[in-house]
Amino acid sequence: MRQAADYTDLITQSHADKPRFVATVGASVAPLAGVQAGLESLLGAFDVDSAVGVQLDAVGLWVGASRRLQVPISDVYFTWESDSLGWESGVWRGVFDPATGLAELPDDAFRLLIKTRIATNSWRGTTPEIYTIWESIFGVSGLVVQDYQNMSMAIGITNSNLTNIEKALLRGGYIPLKPAGVRLSYYYVTPGESLFAWDVESTAMAGWETGRWAEEIGVEG
């Protein structure tokens, strides 16, 4: 971050011992240093990883994402004595949030949506890219993508602790990581478990007594 001292420190030795000269130079460059510092701060203010509030809204506008949902997300508000909506899982209902569900995404969830929108804007529709995008954005190391070759696909998610909001975004089609016109089903097992599969052993899939029946998050048509 630029300061006036960055410039006054450059004054040559023949003038550095003259307080009035140094003060004059400092007063002259201080406004310019302030402007430069302000411009440098914009990089962080509108960075997708650090932007908040209206700055994050501006980033979303650039990539075509909005925190305002077309259909409110239900079953996400914090609730006592609930494993799925308790501490660190449920979302606090805001003053202006409707009782029927979450209508505007909080910064963390909106940031995730922006990142997926950035990825899909440059996605070429290939299956290998799906693995790369999911791993980089969601931190999913165990992902199974199955193309049934009949205009339908399935994605099995393991090793990722998806929140209720993230599941709702997938179910509502807000993360369009699929070819146009393809029906996509999402399946999920909690971290540490593997998807049940016949005659397959991998980090994401396992057989009897090890693999688990997945939770169907939803279908995106």
Element (H, E) at 41: helix 19-45
Element (H, E) at 184: strand 183-188
Question: Which pLDDT score is estimated for 161?
Answer: 74
Question: Which pLDDT score is estimated for 181?
Answer: 82
Question: Which pLDDT score is estimated for 160?
Answer: 72
| Annotated domain spans of the chain | 5-45, 125-221
Question: Which pLDDT score is estimated for 96?
Answer: 65
Question: Which pLDDT score is estimated for 205?
Answer: 66
Question: Which pLDDT score is estimated for 54?
Answer: 92
Question: Which pLDDT score is estimated for 56?
Answer: 93
Q: DSSP label at 86?
A: S
Per-residue pLDDT of the chain (221 residues), as tens digits, is 678 887 788 888 888 888 898 899 889 888 888 888 888 888 888 889 989 999 999 999 999 899 888 777 776 776 666 666 655 566 656 666 666 677 788 898 899 899 988 888 888 888 888 888 888 887 766 788 888 889 888 888 887 777 778 888 888 888 777 777 888 888 887 766 676 676 666 666 666 666 666 777 766 65
Burial 103-140 (b: 16+ CB within 10 A, else e): bbbeeebbbbbbbbbbbbeebeeeeeebeebbeebbeb
**Alpha-carbon span 85 to 104, nearest angstrom:** 18
Q: What angle do CA 163, 168, 174 make, to 5 degrees?
A: 115
In degrees and rounded to multiples of 5, residue 111 shows phi and psi of -60, -40
Question: Which pLDDT score is estimated for 98?
Answer: 67
**Alpha-carbon span 22 to 30, nearest angstrom:** 12
Question: Which pLDDT score is estimated for 124?
Answer: 85
* 35, 39, 64, 118, 186 from 51: Cα distances, Å: 20, 15, 16, 15, 30
